Amino acid sequence: MKIKYTIPIVFFMALVIIEKENNIISRVSDKLKQTPQTSLQSNSLSDLLLEHSGSRLPPGKRNITLMKWRLEDYSEQKALKRGRKHILLLATTRTGSSFVGEFFNQQGDNMFYLFEPLWHVEKMLTLESGGTNATAAAKAYRDVLQQLFLCDFSLLESFIDPLPVDHITAALFRRESSSSLCEKAVCSPVVKGVFERYHCKTRRCGPLNLTMASESCLKKEHIAIKSVRVRQLDTLRPLTEDPRLDVKFIQLVRDPRAILASRMVAFATKYKNWKEWAMGGNVPIDDDEVRKLKGNCDNIRMSAKIGLRQPLWLRGRYMLVRYEDIARFPMKKASEMYRFTGIPFTPQVKSWILKNTQASKETSGVYSTQKNSSEQVEKWRFKLPFKIAQVVQKVCGPTLKLFGYKFVSSEEMLTNKSVSLIEDKVFNF
Ligand SMILES: *[C@@H]1O[C@H](CO)[C@@H](O)[C@H](O)[C@H]1NC(C)=O
Ligand SMILES: *[C@@H]1O[C@H](CO)[C@@H](O)[C@H](O)[C@H]1NC(C)=O
Ligand SMILES: *[C@@H]1O[C@H](CO)[C@@H](O)[C@H](O)[C@H]1NC(C)=O
Ligand SMILES: *[C@@H]1O[C@H](CO)[C@@H](O)[C@H](O)[C@H]1NC(C)=O
Ligand SMILES: *[C@@H]1O[C@H](CO)[C@@H](O)[C@H](O)[C@H]1NC(C)=O
């Protein structure tokens, strides 16, 4: 009886292992195909390795020590690739996603981090009306992300304006926000007379060579991408089904009332009508803006609902994080995020968090000299007119409820410091 089951199981496991090996070998050969200058006709694995190690001497003159070392290196690489994680930090604007992205950008030499690569895709797909075709954009975002997770920039390149020449571009959006795109291995010599708006700050580099970026990416253990552009989590389902990827989604959310308060400061002219209306003027709230607000809240809520429901395709791949919890307990939350991804939480990340927050106080519970982060988190309450808070509550009610943000029923409650609007809530288990 037992043997009857054991044999198919062993057979199945063997198939799984063979499948994984095949993936790795095909990935190695894919990589070699990308660099035509090394593409001698080669079929066997050892030929591939020889080329890979750059040792193109005639057989008699090959350095055996070096070859052996490369072989060991290869099996090590193989082991690393097996644990490779593909992290996608999903957020909307004004949720502190740049800050949270730093948790991964600061990880160190093992991480390849990209900051908003989909900016180019959205820009290219923006219609004259100002928006994008959501269906077309979702598909493009997904395909570009999938390729980027495999360290392939070719589809992204087709969205960069001006189009890169020989995989070289001086126009990659916010290159300097990604330490991986400014490290030595990806830094080519400065070219006189080429203007680079997003130039590296840590060292002087010439235009970005995406072939170099891709090579560097392949050498890293993990890859993380931050994006505020994906609308619906389920459009990314194919990424979870790609056997070459081990995707981890982290969705970052924030109180929509706070987001709006922040937007009203950042885009003051856009919200002129809202302000006048709130002050008792006659200008009605622009319906379009309300519709947009509702659309955003609904998208965020629907994505989170799918994630929290943990369907099979998302099992172990989804984590929800509130901005407010990160602002109050950055070290605790960062370590939870790392535990979720299965990547070690490095001392570099810890020290970056210590330097940039008051996390040292977090454990002892003593807030002192620096900004009081609980207070910081709720500062918006003194900026947002109560009438506008009411509009948000009406339009985004279910979203507030799902994430544990308390409704305010009066101006007094909105501005009463002893009432917290953040309920304690645990989303992930
Ligand atoms: C072969 O390569 C190893 C490792 O790089 C080096 O230590 C050794 O000196 C090389 N031997 C010869 C004969 O070039
Ligand atoms: C949006 O794009 C999809 C797919 O490309 C297309 O089928 C559809 O007609 C487009 N919708 C609009 C309103 O343009
Ligand atoms: C870009 O990098 C690749 C890989 O290192 C190199 O082969 C290529 O010559 C570089 N391109 C330019 C224009 O420097
Ligand atoms: C920080 O803010 C919280 C919440 O408003 C409050 O309970 C705490 O006493 C404040 N701490 C300091 C040192 O101001
Ligand atoms: C603020 O809230 C506390 C706790 O609910 C309440 O006791 C207090 O009276 C409120 N203060 C004002 C000014 O409404």
In short, whether 211's Cβ falls inside 6 Å of ligand 3 is: yes
Which atom from ligand 4 is nearest to the alpha carbon of 417?
A: 5
Write the pLDDT tens digit of every residue in 288-339: 888 889 999 999 999 999 999 999 999 999 999 999 999 989 999 999 999 9
**What is the separation, in whole angstroms, between the first and last Cα of the chain?**
37
Write the pLDDT tens digit of every residue in 342-383: 999 999 999 999 888 866 555 544 443 334 566 778 899 999
Band of residue 19 on the pLDDT scale cut at 50, 70, 90: low
In short, whether 410's Cβ falls inside 6 Å of ligand 5 is: no
Cβ contacts of 271-276, under 8 Å, gap ≥ 24: 274/388, 275/385
Nearest Cα residue to atom 14 of ligand 1: 63
In sequence order, what E strands does 79-237 have? Answer: 86-90, 111-115, 168-169, 208-209, 222-227
State the Cα–Cα distance between residues 214 and 181, nearest whole angstrom: 10
Ligand nearest to the Cα of 139, by number = 2
Among 73-77, 106-110, 393-397, which is the least confidently predicted range?
73-77
Nearest Cα residue to atom 11 of ligand 5: 416
Band of residue 429 on the pLDDT scale cut at 50, 70, 90: low
- Dig out the tokens for 174 from the structure: 């916010």
CB 302 within 8 Å of CB 309:
no
For the chain, list the domains and their CATH numbers. 1-73+111-220 (no CATH), 85-96+228-416+423-429 (3.40.50)
Which atom from ligand 1 is nearest to the alpha carbon of 63?
A: 1
**Which of residues 45 and 393 earns the better pLDDT score?**
393
Ligand 4 centroid, distance to 124 Cα (angstroms): 46
In short, whether 415's Cβ falls inside 6 Å of ligand 3 is: no
**Strand 111-115 vs strand 168-169: parallel, antiparallel, or unpaired?**
unpaired
Band of residue 81 on the pLDDT scale cut at 50, 70, 90: low
Choose which residue among 133, 141, 231, 235 to substitute to test ligand 2 binding: the one with the highest number of ligand atoms within 8 A of its C-beta: 133
In short, whether 209's Cβ falls inside 6 Å of ligand 3 is: yes
DSSP string for 292-307: HHHHHHHHHHHHHHHH
Which atom from ligand 5 is nearest to the alpha carbon of 416?
A: 1
pLDDT over threshold 50, residue 38: no
Ligand 1 centroid, distance to 66 Cα (angstroms): 6
Nearest Cα residue to atom 11 of ligand 4: 367
Residue-level pLDDT at 92? 94
Write the pLDDT tens digit of every residue in 171-205: 999 999 999 999 999 999 998 888 888 999 999 99
Choose which residue among 411, 413, 419 to substitute to test ligand 5 binding: the one with the highest number of ligand atoms within 8 A of its C-beta: 419
- Nearest alpha-carbon partner for 84 in 23, 156, 33: 23
Band of residue 206 on the pLDDT scale cut at 50, 70, 90: very high
Ligand 3 centroid, distance to 291 Cα (angstroms): 47
In sequence order, what E strands does 200-314 have? Answer: 208-209, 222-227, 247-253
Ligand 4 centroid, distance to 364 Cα (angstroms): 14
Nearest Cα residue to atom 12 of ligand 2: 133
Which atom from ligand 4 is nearest to the alpha carbon of 368?
A: 13
